[in-house]
A and B are shown apart, each in its own frame.
Chain A
């Protein structure tokens, strides 16, 4: 592609912010980053046009992992889609379960008992901690800190996954939540083990921060790179830590009051600049807040049933209608939109994937930066290709 062509493409005129103009005339260097590139977290391609080292055009190419999850879900019963949701964002299967269960509960009007709500909060916050820790680990891996931060994160993640395994039977594909409750009850031994792990987490976050937060190389690479302005972030539907790093106070746990998050004291960390460093910092602070929520939830978890008495395992047919349910997943706003026609299968089943929609502004953030920064900006978005391509 020539320089003149990029100019006409950009002057097509819509709400894209003005970008860096290539200097001079002539041909640009076309680089296909991916689909098999170590920084792309899976199979994903960015078609990048370079003027020297600078990025002047970047087009993401999706679909390498597309398996039409939505079509599969429309062909099976409501419950049978639950294990498939584990495979969307395979780092956070429990929050995926929760979002789907929440949408179905809205559709069918089911009530969740208090103990089940506490269990959901505990599992979701553990998921958030392990997701943020490994995201930061991967970000540092892409920055060139080969291994150390990632291994520290994975050491801690392993403890959390062991808890998941002893409760749900699987480390990653948990398939734990059900419409109107949860599948198996917590034992007191499990709660004790979780308390022990949670008690060790603040020391881990301190260690992580001592290792990274003040590091000059991290600051030099991250500060002022990949800036996302708050008005664009809202307009482009960005969600999760990325939105909050741009300074927009929008956390669905506070906004939607879903589950029982009203009962817990926690703050919503916000960034100032919207650059990579703020995204890193917001994730670290969110881990600290999650530890706070976990301590409260493990303290007050009540006894009682874990399933709605009216819930049915077999022959579940919600009345005709539709519902959109969303939760604050670690990667952003994860929503499920369901239309029922009264049959055993959903008529329409839609996943609102935060990973895909957060990539809307990838080009805006990358334009004008060096090609090495593209890898970092992409890593700071925090995506999982299983969810992007579905």
Chain B
């Protein structure tokens, strides 16, 4: 019968229309900004730099190795190395970024900087309400604006942050063990040297001990 298909389609629409009063599933609209959908844990928007401890500058994990600058596909990262050094999380003196700028008007949120970073220093933020009136200055984020605490990282990506912390703790332990071993070895060597020195009769020097 002509028109049967149309009637069938209309019935389907009516079912959906009536269904939207009873079924939560069919109501898909959320009234932003009053209502918000929680962001997915893996969500990524723009990168930020992580610092440990209370002081952002002292705790910055970045060592200005410039790998992310080189690998960034749209070249939105700009790094200047510092002249002096500051201790990193294991206490080794390291260079830090004197300048670290990310131009988020160029950044395309691809996460490649995070993947290539060997120091777990750069991670992806989930903050997306970044509109600003100043097109140039407002979207060029500097080191201070990029630095965010490890606690903040834990609050947005809890699973990933826990894994990173475990990895870093292991690294730190290994580094400490290595340092301890090195110190022990050095002490041993020094002792051995001293012993050797003491044992060997030195020409021209007054004989020590009870000869």
Contact = CB atoms under 8 A, between A and B. Distances in A.
Q: Do chains A and B touch in the complex (CB under 8 A)?
A: yes
Interface of A: 76-77, 79-84, 148, 152, 155, 158, 162, 165-170, 173, 175, 183-184, 207, 210-219, 313-314
A158 B28 CA distance: 9
- Lowest 9 A-B CB distances belong to which pairs? A214-B5, A83-B110, A80-B73, A169-B44, A215-B5, A166-B40, A169-B42, A211-B9, A211-B12
Given A155-B28, A210-B9, A169 B111 contact: yes
Contacts of A217: 6
Given A165-B43, A216-B2, A173 B109 contact: yes
A160 to B, nearest CB: 13
Contact of A216 (B5, B28, B42, B44): B5
**For chain A, what secondary structure do more than half of its interface residues adopt (helix, strand, loop), or is it mixed?**
helix
Contacts of A77: 71
Contacts of B40: 162, 165-166, 169
Given A169-B124, A218-B5, A313-B115, 10 more contacts: A81-B73, A82-B110, A83-B108, A158-B28, A169-B111, A170-B44, A210-B12, A211-B13, A216-B2, A216-B5
Nearest to B70: A77
B204 interface: no
A76 B5 CA distance: 54
Given A214-B5, A215-B5, A207 B12 contact: yes
B54 interface: no
24 contacts: A79-B71, A80-B71, A80-B72, A80-B112, A81-B73, A84-B73, A155-B26, A165-B43, A166-B40, A169-B40, A169-B43, A173-B109, A173-B110, A207-B12, A210-B8, A210-B11, A211-B8, A214-B4, A214-B5, A214-B8, A215-B6, A215-B8, A216-B4, A314-B67
B9 A212 contact: yes
Interface in B38-91: 40-44, 67, 71-73
A88 B116 CA distance: 24
Contacts of B4: 214, 216
Contacts of B13: 148, 211
A215 B8 CA distance: 8
A212 B5 CA distance: 8
A307 to B, nearest CB: 12
Given A165-B40, A210-B8, A314-B67, A216 B116 contact: no
B3 interface: yes
A314 B9 contact: no
Contacts of A218: 5
Contacts of B72: 80
A90 to B, nearest CB: 12
Interface string B134-174: 00000000000000000000000000000000000000000
A216 B8 CA distance: 11
B130 to A, nearest CB: 16
A314 B5 contact: no
A363 B57 CA distance: 63
Contacts of B115: 183, 313
Contacts of A166: 40-42
Contacts of A155: 26, 28
A216 B109 contact: no
Pick from A84, A158, A183, A210 the residue with the most CB of B within 10 Å.
A210
Nearest to A158: B28
A222 B28 CA distance: 31
